[in-house]
């Protein structure tokens, strides 16, 4: 595949990225210039009977599927292990069993081939996705404002450089994706709940139920979704036992989704104000994470960004959820700065973006 001087440091070949932080097993190979050579994502179905992710089941599924997927992705990329320039794996935050599986596999490959290993912070991978070549016209230069919305995270972050992040605000209880999944379960929808709820909301009246807008209009950039989730639960409890009437369920879904979108847009508006004050040249808002795929949320954020004369960048839907393309890209961003990790690097279930070991020397 050829060498590539990437930001001053030589990246000697394609990078293999592995993602196993939750219930997606994913592998991708990126060329040194960021071109996606091959990728695969397997969404584990083993959790459906339980209505949520079971950590032990997730780890076993990663162990069962990862070796085959890595072999197949390398074959489709027409890359041999000997041609790789590095191996990367999500090493936190996430479910520790899955992280150990992915990181252990990547370390084994790195050790066998004497390749640099990059322990990727899963949140950093989401944060840097917008910088993939071709996603943002003209590129996504630093600094920019990030809204990270997923099943486990909801936060506004000033992305100042690779490894340099400043958290402006976050959720004080549930994450947005967690609230979507819990409300979907209340409405009798399948798992995962977020996409099913959005589909149901498309048939509903978002103005019918006056659900609360937690923290709307308050100063700061923090979020809260627990009270909104509780309000939906109380609304559902007022009905007789059994399935909800179809139209009522659709109206609840639409009303809940509208409330989330309005709250998030309001809090992001405050974050834009803070970010613009600290970083006057930065005029880009990036939304990433699984909930970034929600159309109503994207529309609300587009309006908020435009009102503040910011551009909005959102990854394509396939790169919103957990994937290995973002892991390989984050590794490339670090490798081009001469950064990689020791094989002794231990995966961790918690790893905030502003942790001291995130900084690039």
Q: Which helix (H) or strand (E) covers residue 265, if one does?
A: helix 246-278
pLDDT at residue number 4? 47
Q: From start to end of the chain, where are the E strands?
A: 4-6, 9-11, 15-19, 24-30, 36-43, 86-90, 117-120, 144-149, 154-161, 164-170, 284-288, 311-313
pLDDT at residue number 191? 76
pLDDT at residue number 44? 84
Exposure string over 298-317, b if 16+ CB within 10 A, otherwise e = bebbbebbeeeebbbbbbee
pLDDT at residue number 74? 98
Question: Would you tell me how many other CB atoms lie within 10 Å of the CB of residue 218?
Answer: 12
pLDDT tens track, the chain, 361 positions: 334 444 457 898 999 999 999 999 999 999 999 999 999 999 887 877 777 789 899 999 999 999 999 999 999 999 999 999 999 999 999 999 999 999 999 999 999 999 999 999 999 999 999 999 999 988 999 999 999 998 888 999 999 999 999 999 999 999 999 999 999 999 999 877 899 999 999 999 999 999 999 999 999 999 999 999 999 999 999 999 999 999 999 999 999 999 999 999 999 999 999 999 999 999 999 999 999 999 999 999 999 999 999 999 999 999 999 999 999 999 999 999 999 999 999 999 999 999 999 986 5
Structural contact between residues 18 and 86, judged by C-beta atoms closer than 8 angstroms: no
Q: Which two tokens stand for residue 121?
A: 């912070």
């Amino acid at each position: 595949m050829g060498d590539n001087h990437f930001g001053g440091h030589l990246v000697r070949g394609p990078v293999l990225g592995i993602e196993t932080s939750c219930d997606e097993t994913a592998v991708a190979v990126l060329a040194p210039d960021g071109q996606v050579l091959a990728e695969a994502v397997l969404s584990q179905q083993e959790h459906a009977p339980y209505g949520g992710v079971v950590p032990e089941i997730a780890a076993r599924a990663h162990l069962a599927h990862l070796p085959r997927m890595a072999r197949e992705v390398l074959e489709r990329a027409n890359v041999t292990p000997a041609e790789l320039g590095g191996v990367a794996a999500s090493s936190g935050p996430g479910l520790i069993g899955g992280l150990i599986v992915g990181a252990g596999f990547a370390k084994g490959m790195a050790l066998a081939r004497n390749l640099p290993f990059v322990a990727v912070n899963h949140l950093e991978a989401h944060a840097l996705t917008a910088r993939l070549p071709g996603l943002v016209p003209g590129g996504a230069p630093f600094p920019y404002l990030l809204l990270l919305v997923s099943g486990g995270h909801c936060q506004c972050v000033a992305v100042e450089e690779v490894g340099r992040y400043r958290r402006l605000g976050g959720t004080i209880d549930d994450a947005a994706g967690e609230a979507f999944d819990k409300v979907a379960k209340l409405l009798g929808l399948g798992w995962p709940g977020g996409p099913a709820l959005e589909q149901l909301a498309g048939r509903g009246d978002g103005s019918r139920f006056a659900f609360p807008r937690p923290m709307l209009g308050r100063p700061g950039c923090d979020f809260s979704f627990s009270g909104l989730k509780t309000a939906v639960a109380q609304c559902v409890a007022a009905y007789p036992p059994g399935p909800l009437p179809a139209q009522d369920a659709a109206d609840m879904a639409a009303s809940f989704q509208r409330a989330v979108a309005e709250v998030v847009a309001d809090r992001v508006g405050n974050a834009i104000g803070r970010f613009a004050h600290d970083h006057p040249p930065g005029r880009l808002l990036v939304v990433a994470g699984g909930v970034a795929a929600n159309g109503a949320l994207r529309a609300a954020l587009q309006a908020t960004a435009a009102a503040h004369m910011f551009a909005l960048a959102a990854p394509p839907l396939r790169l919103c959820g957990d994937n290995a393309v973002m892991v390989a890209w984050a590794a490339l961003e670090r490798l081009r700065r001469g950064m990689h990790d020791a094989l002794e690097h231990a995966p961790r279930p918690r790893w905030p973006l502003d942790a001291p070991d995130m900084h690039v020397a």
